[in-house]
Amino acid sequence: MTTTPTPTPRWRALTQHNLFWPVAVLVVLLLINVPFTPGFFSIKMTDGHLYGSLVSIVLFGSPLILVAVGMTLVIATGGIDLSVGAVVAITGALTCSYISDQADQDSLAGVFLAMGIGLVAAVVCGLWNGFLVARMGIQPIIATLIIMVAGRGVAQLITDGQIITINSEPYKLIGGGYWLTLPFSIFVVAAVVAITVALTRRTALGLLVESVGGNAEASRLVGIRSLRIKIMVYVFCALCAGIAGLMISSNTSAADGNNAGLWIELDAILAVVIGGTSLTGGRFSIGGTVVGALVIQTLTTTIYTIGVPTQTNLVFKAVVVLVVCLLQSPKFRAKVFGGKFGSGSGAKGGGTSAATPADTAPTTAAAPKMEVS
């Protein structure tokens, strides 16, 4: 909290920015590491590769960021995609089984073909989800539950219940290789995020997605092809999951139908929620999602580095989720902080009663106006 005796509008505007809480949590988590890991923020150059805690957080968080970015668009249309973990497993399984069947696993053409096959399978899963949600009008959580349940079975079927290991140098690059001193996967993630942001914020596409999420029927009536938009976001989400699947299987040089991408859908949803995108749809923030995914990865790393037994990882995650969700809930803020939230330390300033209704208002636009009047 701030120490300024009187609440300033700038502080208020800052706390109401949708990226404030995710970034604050991320910064706090990063700072917690400093006393435990000397030189936490330092980045060393070894063998032409950059090493450091920050680099590894981004490296290990790459698949999650990818999946979460895809998930953001799905959630923005008011949907949810539970099948991403299974898609990760299917893509990895198909690609690795194709590569392992080849005589020369290092052949570039073979690796590209294998990746193509994996990604096509991911797109098919996305089309199926989109078809069920948009065309058949089935609730997204249920429609995608089908592939979540069956998909892992399919992945195990592809790998014959085994863990397929491969030994392919070119394929290794995607998830475990380095390029220009940085992990290659960081470039992949950066490209996907940049393309997504460009497509959604530099064109009308993002607006259309938000409009479909706000009210699909109304969007359809004003002439937006809401069906097509919905199908598109599921395909995009599955494609992102597919790329994440390539990354995960490439990093371990193995496809595990049972465990690849396990729980990643839940982590991705968390990342989206932490990032401030509402699960009811209609609004999204790609930046917030990326920060959210980094929060989750940093949390995992922090738990490792400060020496807390790794098994408590999940408990910490649960607590962080709850705290972030509670802080985002207007009702919680109103109840617990008595409406003085965002106006500095309420107890110290005594609080102004005029600020109470403004604080409980969920929209950022309404709050400053009410204070001025």
- Applying CB under 8 A, which residues contact other proteins? 80, 132, 136-139, 141-143, 145-154, 156-157, 161, 257, 266, 269-270, 273, 279-280, 309, 311-319, 321-322, 325-326, 329-332, 335
Q: Are 95 and 246 in contact (CB under 8 A)?
A: yes
Return the closest-CA partner of residue 171 out of 117, 120, 123.
117
The pair of structure tokens assigned to 28 is 């706090």
Q: Which residues contact 238 (CB under 8 A, 6 or more apart)?
A: 70, 81, 83, 84, 87, 122, 123, 125, 126, 127, 129
Nearest residue (CB) to other proteins, 122 versus 273: 273
**302: exposed, middle or buried (C-beta count within 10 Å: 0-12, 13-18, 19+)?**
buried
11, 95, 99, 237 from 115: Cα distances, Å: 48, 6, 9, 17
Other CB atoms within 10 A of residue 166 CB:
23
**63: exposed, middle or buried (C-beta count within 10 Å: 0-12, 13-18, 19+)?**
buried
Other CB atoms within 10 A of residue 195 CB:
11
Q: Are 26 and 294 in contact (CB under 8 A)?
A: yes
Smallest distance, other proteins to C-beta of residue 135, A: 11
Smallest distance, other proteins to C-beta of residue 269, A: 7
Smallest distance, other proteins to C-beta of residue 54, A: 25
Work out the end-to-end distance of the chain between its first and last CA atoms, rounded to an integer number of angstroms.
26
What's the rounded Cα separation, in Å, for the pair 151 and 148?
A: 5
What is the bridge-based pairing of β-strands 178-179 and 182-183?
A: antiparallel
Nearest residue (CB) to other proteins, 54 versus 84: 84
* Residue count (the chain): 373
Nearest residue (CB) to other proteins, 39 versus 161: 161
What's the rounded Cα separation, in Å, for the pair 362 and 270?
A: 20
Q: Are 297 and 285 in contact (CB under 8 A)?
A: no
Nearest residue (CB) to other proteins, 111 versus 274: 274
| DSSP-assigned letter for residue 22 | H
What's the rounded Cα separation, in Å, for the pair 53 and 77?
A: 35
SS (H, E, C) 251-262: HHCEEECCCCCC
Q: Are 295 and 320 in contact (CB under 8 A)?
A: yes
Smallest distance, other proteins to C-beta of residue 320, A: 9
Nearest residue (CB) to other proteins, 93 versus 111: 93
Nearest residue (CB) to other proteins, 121 versus 243: 121
Nearest residue (CB) to other proteins, 318 versus 366: 318
Smallest distance, other proteins to C-beta of residue 360, A: 12
Nearest residue (CB) to other proteins, 75 versus 208: 75
Nearest residue (CB) to other proteins, 151 versus 287: 151
Smallest distance, other proteins to C-beta of residue 256, A: 13
Smallest distance, other proteins to C-beta of residue 146, A: 5
Smallest distance, other proteins to C-beta of residue 36, A: 20
Nearest residue (CB) to other proteins, 14 versus 262: 262
Smallest distance, other proteins to C-beta of residue 288, A: 15
Smallest distance, other proteins to C-beta of residue 273, A: 6
